[in-house]
């Protein structure tokens, strides 16, 4: 279900780190694949690794700087983690950004070092063994932090702070996700990609004591039905 990504000249220059003139020469020489819409050139991605230079990738890896007073290299080390990062950006985050606008990632990738810090200093509400934020990274014992692999992030779309149900519905109907944890229309949305792509929509409720607890859930086409029922 991954949609083909097309980038404007401005965005593609940023990914490649080239000037207008260099971009033109690369296009004319046949080094780049593109389509033309009116007077605009839209470029096709020829190397997925370039997505790691996208501003959304920067958010996905450096989100922690807003919340935690530490400075680390929070980039993925394992090949599987890097591939999951590229998949999350390409298959989920960029299509959402194209459809709705700018994304703000509130909880993104968690490296082994960052996970140790969070579990020591602010572990409340985190479940590193299953939440997919650590992708396929290894702990100090050389074991996978998360048994599910893949990669997850929590995000909100600017201008949709109280309409995240619309974003959730778009993902369920159009994108190849693994899991969605839906906390409400005015809360960040947790979404992941994974090898299995379970298309699992999980509603998260609040208990009388204020704890987050699982509510209704559905998979595949049934997730589409549930998503429609959740629209406010």
List pLDDT tens digits, range 51-98. 999 999 999 999 999 999 999 999 999 999 999 999 999 999 999 999
List pLDDT tens digits, range 174-210. 999 999 999 999 999 999 999 889 999 999 998 887 7
Give pLDDT, residue 125: 86
CB 171 within 8 A of CB 191: yes
CB 85 within 8 A of CB 109: yes
How far apart are the C-alpha atoms of 129 and 190, rounded to whole Å? 16
List pLDDT tens digits, range 103-154. 999 999 999 999 999 999 998 889 999 999 999 999 999 999 999 999 999 9
Spans of all domains in the chain: 1-46, 49-230
Say what the pTM is: 0.91
Measured in whole angstroms, the distance separating CA 69 from the mean position of its chain's CA atoms is: 23
CA torsion 61-65-66-68 (nearest 10°) is: 120
Give pLDDT, residue 209: 79
Residue given tokens 């702070």 in the structure block: 161
Looking at the chain, the whole-number percentage of residues with pLDDT higher than 90 is: 88
In the DSSP assignment, the letter for residue 92 is: I
> Has residue 212 got a pLDDT over 50?
yes
CB 180 within 8 A of CB 193: no
């Amino acid at each position: 279900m991954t949609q083909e990504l097309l980038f404007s000249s401005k965005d593609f220059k940023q990914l490649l780190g080239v000037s207008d003139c260099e971009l033109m020469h690369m296009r004319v020489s046949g080094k780049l694949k593109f389509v033309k819409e009116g007077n605009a050139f839209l470029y096709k991605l020829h190397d997925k690794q370039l997505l790691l230079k996208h501003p959304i990738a920067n958010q996905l890896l450096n989100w922690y700087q807003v919340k935690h007073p530490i400075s680390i290299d929070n980039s993925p080390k394992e090949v599987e983690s890097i591939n999951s990062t590229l998949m999350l950006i390409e298959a989920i985050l960029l299509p959402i950004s194209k459809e709705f606008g700018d994304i703000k990632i509130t909880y993104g990738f968690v490296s082994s070092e960052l996970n140790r810090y969070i579990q020591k200093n602010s572990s409340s509400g985190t479940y590193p063994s299953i939440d997919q934020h650590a992708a396929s990274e290894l702990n100090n014992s050389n074991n996978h932090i998360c048994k599910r692999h893949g990669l997850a992030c929590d995000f909100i779309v600017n201008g949709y702070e109280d309409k995240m149900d619309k974003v959730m519905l778009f993902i369920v109907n159009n994108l190849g996700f693994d899991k969605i944890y839906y906390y409400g229309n005015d809360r960040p949305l947790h979404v992941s990609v994974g090898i299995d792509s379970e298309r699992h929509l999980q509603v998260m409720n609040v208990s009388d004591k204020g704890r987050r607890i699982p509510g209704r859930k559905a998979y595949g086409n049934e997730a589409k039905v549930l998503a429609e029922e959740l629209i406010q």
